Structure 1
Amino acid sequence: MLVSSGFLLFVLAISGIHCDEPLADIIARLKALENKVERQNDIISRQAMQIEGLQETVSAQMRDISELTEKVSTQENDKKKIMKELSNLKEIKHSHELCMAMVKTSYVGHHKGKTEGIGNEDKATGIQRVKALDNTKKRFVLDTLETVAFEATISGATKLPHSHVHDRVVFETVSLNVGSSYHAGNGTFIAPISGIYIFSTSLMMLKPDISDHGMHVIIEKNGMEVAGAYAAYRGTYEHSSVTAAIELQSGDNVFVSVERHDDISFYGDNLTSFMGFLLYPY
């Protein structure tokens, strides 16, 4: 194919090559262009490495974000558990405060009537005792200094024969006597401090000499009947029991005695017992 000289000159012109330009200048320009291309390649290579590094950094940051997200989720769950426990503790605290308020109100109400009509000095003492509630937590039975409890039985194969009306039933074997307030010699409990006490007695009657004989025993406070237990003989050993809550002042005494049906015998072997404990101290 023949190319016109005019077209060739046109191509050379737009290429910036002039036929009248020395060859050495052309070679220099080519070398400069090659150097420029090499520098551009270096720049592109470095930028590619930077991009790769940035991609690795982004990948690591994404992993960190994922780990942090998991930690936040775990902490949220822990927070929910803590908030639930806090709510439960607040409810327990509120219940405890209500309980203490009820105890304090009961204590004040109980002593209000007792302080009416007495001297200012006694009233001041009563007020001081009420204030002491906050420090002593009302001295519940868990307070060793004011815990009182006892249990006594007629033990072994022994028996208590021929007890008569108004006789005290003596429970001679003592298994518990916290506060040393039960006296086994005469079967009597003497209150060491004022308060509300619980007493219970359980007795088994031996076969009486009279076929229609019954058993009637009572719990007495300072010689006055508080509660009673009855059993009628029906051809076998008969058993009866009674429990009572009694308010006592320091020095009051409580015991079990025969009330009716003379000449009663009680069975031993720990089947006949008497017990009591301090429920609520004043």
Structure 2
Amino acid sequence: MDISVIIIFLSLFKSSYTSATQGEENNTLSKLPVDNTQTDSRPDSDHESDMSRILKRLETNEKLTQRLLSRVEHLESREKSQQQEILNLHNQLDLQKRQTKSLQRVLNHIFNRRTPLKSRTGENQTASTVIEVKSVEKEISSGLRATEEHKSSQRIRRAENENQVAFFATLSTDIQHAGVHQTYVFDHVITNLGSAYNNHNGNFVAPVSGTYVFSVTLLSVYHVNAHAQFLKNGQLVTRLYLSGVESGHDTASQTFVLQLHKGDDVCVHNLDLDASLGGSHYSSFAGFLLYEDYSSSAIVGK
């Protein structure tokens, strides 16, 4: 047999044997259980790491969003205040424009008269121009003075309205066996602006200095006379007398005006021993602030 033929035959045999061997090995490997722990562990770990990074970025973005929202609210608030300030500046600018126009009219009046003065008789024309300028200046000063007076009156009115003082109280039940110099307590309070009247001890204490008006009306018990007096800081101001013995019931009323300082007190006292006074809301005590004393500049200037 030729050697070349033998060599070819051996090569084919070797190739066939190698293919068959590899096929058997592949079949054997395919039947064996495969351990995917190592191959799968790496993708799961990478997935968890990616999720963790995404969550962190979400938290960071949320915090950033909150800061941006807070900043936006702050800027909106500043914008509102700036808009109000701009509005105030516009109002001031309008006022300045009006004043500038008034002054400009005065200047134009002067300059328009200046050239004709050189060609005409100077004295008459000058006198006429001066009169017209003074008239315009007078109008401007009148307007400014009226504005200042209006502002001043507004300040005074505000100061007057700052302290409202007025009270009105009545006696709900009869008073029996009152002692000498006992204060009559008008217990039923109807009005008490400023809370200056005390319905527990019957005293009114002036909260501010000023001129006050007071009024007292008393009713006697049936067939009983009564004497009372009105006191300011314990000093007599006026007296009242009720003749109940002769008429059965009697009433007496007085109205008086007093200048009080802050802290002064006024009240109604009994003068008789073992006296009585009619209640049932027939007897009353009232007062109010008529004019406040603004001698303190700190109050007027508010």
TM range (shorter): 0.3 to 0.5
Report the structure, 1 or 2, having the larger helix content: 2
TM-score normalised to structure 2 length? 0.44
TM-score normalised to structure 1 length? 0.48
Higher relative contact order (CA 8 A, sep 6+): 1
